[in-house]
Amino acid sequence: MHELEPLIERGSPDDFLLRQLDPNRLPRHVAIIMDGNGRWANRRGKARIAGHPAGVEAARVTVENCARLGIPTLTLYAFSSENWRRPRVEVTMLMRLLQQCLRQEVPRLNRNGVRLRFIGRLSALSDETRKALDYAVAATANNHRMTLNVAFNYGGRAEIVDALRAVAREFMGLGRPLDSITEEDVARHLYTDSDPDLLIRTSGEMRLSNFLLWQMAYTEIFVTNTLWPDFNRTHLLEALAAYQQRHRRFGGVENVGVPVSALA
């Protein structure tokens, strides 16, 4: 039985969706581009920044539901390296919101057994923000139920550059020729420990937005028109159900009738 099952009303749409899922074929790693906070606020006649606290609540619900479903890794795209171009007041508000959320969310993450990690060029953040990140990472380090990667000041191309620089330093230090670098060598130096099986993007946009470019070579993509603050358990279950209907071939021939995760 899913740990989520006791929390869902019998006969509800969520109950129907949950019963479609095979717990043995859930994705091991889900990534989400959390898009639409500003549009959500604008549609309600509010300033763009009003959408970000609502987006935090959607993230909280999604983290808890993924942990209860037994998904080992969740990666959320929170702040890209391009987001610095946004209005200064919005960026400042996002940094303050991050610090506030980390103080509030650590006890909840610990109750749910979630280990928190941040990926991106974190050295560019302020000392105050870095302290908040370091505190939350250290406070959740002993949790093993699920790993939550939060991509902050993150860019997929920058990650690949950082990985290549690290590989080059390693090989030069060992006296190994650079033309012997393999894909596995690069992968060892990426920010994440695994590649996403499923990417969920909200707000209907059909692009990767410089997110996990190396890791998503064979990721299944699910796009919903739902704006991120409105993303709830039902939408998550819909994405997981759709994932289990996919046939992942990884460049090989299709095995007709073999479900998605049997090939993963």
Predicted confidence (pLDDT) per residue in 100-124, tens digit: 999 999 999 999 999 999 999 999 9
* Catalytic residue status for 37: no
Average pLDDT score over the chain: 93
Q: What is the mean pLDDT of residues 160-177?
A: 96
Percent of the chain with pLDDT over 90: 88
pLDDT of 5 = 82
What confidence tens digit (pLDDT) does each residue in 199-221 have?
Answer: 999 999 999 999 999 999 999 99
* Catalytic residue status for 185: no
Which residue of the set 14, 35, 195, 197 is catalytic?
A: 35
Structure tokens at 196: 């996403």
Domains of the chain plus CATH, in order, are: 5-153+196-262 (3.40.1180.10)
Work out the pLDDT band at 260, boundaries 50, 70, 90. low
Work out the pLDDT band at 7, boundaries 50, 70, 90. confident
Which residue of the set 24, 37, 65, 83 is catalytic?
A: 83
- Helix 51-69 with 88-111: angle, nearest 10 deg: 30
Question: DSSP characters for 125-180?
Answer: S-HHHHHHHHHHHHHTTT--SEEEEEEEEE-HHHHHHHHHHHHHHHHHHHT--GGG
